[in-house]
């Protein structure tokens, strides 16, 4: 059987994997932003640079929630707060 510390380590690894599921949301959100930006450039090619910078800004804000999940996963795996 597992001893206490091994069990906690295994569960931390599983928890880190689950925390990375948070990457789904930003993926979808950034894809939508990029798709609409592509459509906007198609409609108005002159405004390309402004559209690109607006898109990057929006994507960066949408990315934040995914990074929270990543931070949780990294803390679980490498800082090991529970053991």
Partner 1 sequence: MTMLAADNDFMIKGLFSYELFGHTLWITTSHVALVMVVIILIGFAWIANRRIKKAEEVPGVFQNIIELIVEKLDQVVSGSMGAFAGKFQNYISTIFLFILLCNISGIFGLRSPTADYGITLLLGLVTFALIHINGIKRHKIGHFTSWFQPLPLLFPINVIGDLATPLSLSLRLFGNVMSGTVMIGLWYGMLPWFMKLGIPAFLHAYFDLFSGAIQTYVFCMLTMVYIRDKME
Binding site for partner 1 (CB under 8 A): 53, 56-57, 60-61, 63-64, 67-68, 70-71, 74, 78
Please state the closest distance from residue 39 (CB atom) to partner 1, in A.
21
Rounded Cα gap, residues 23 and 67, in angstroms: 8
Nearer to partner 1, 2 or 68 (CB): 68
Rounded Cα gap, residues 82 and 76, in angstroms: 8
Nearer to partner 1, 47 or 67 (CB): 67
Please state the closest distance from residue 76 (CB atom) to partner 1, in A.
13
Please state the closest distance from residue 60 (CB atom) to partner 1, in A.
4
Rounded Cα gap, residues 21 and 16, in angstroms: 9
What DSSP character marks residue 83? -
Rounded Cα gap, residues 70 and 83, in angstroms: 20
């Amino acid at each position: 059987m597992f001893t206490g510390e091994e069990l906690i380590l295994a569960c931390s690894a599983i928890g880190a994997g689950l925390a990375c599921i948070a990457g789904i949301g930003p993926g979808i959100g950034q894809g939508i932003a990029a798709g609409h930006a592509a459509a906007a450039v198609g409609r108005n090619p002159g405004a390309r640079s402004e559209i690109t910078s607006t898109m990057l800004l929006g994507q960066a804000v949408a990315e934040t929630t995914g990074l929270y999940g990543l931070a949780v996963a990294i803390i679980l795996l490498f800082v090991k707060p529970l053991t």
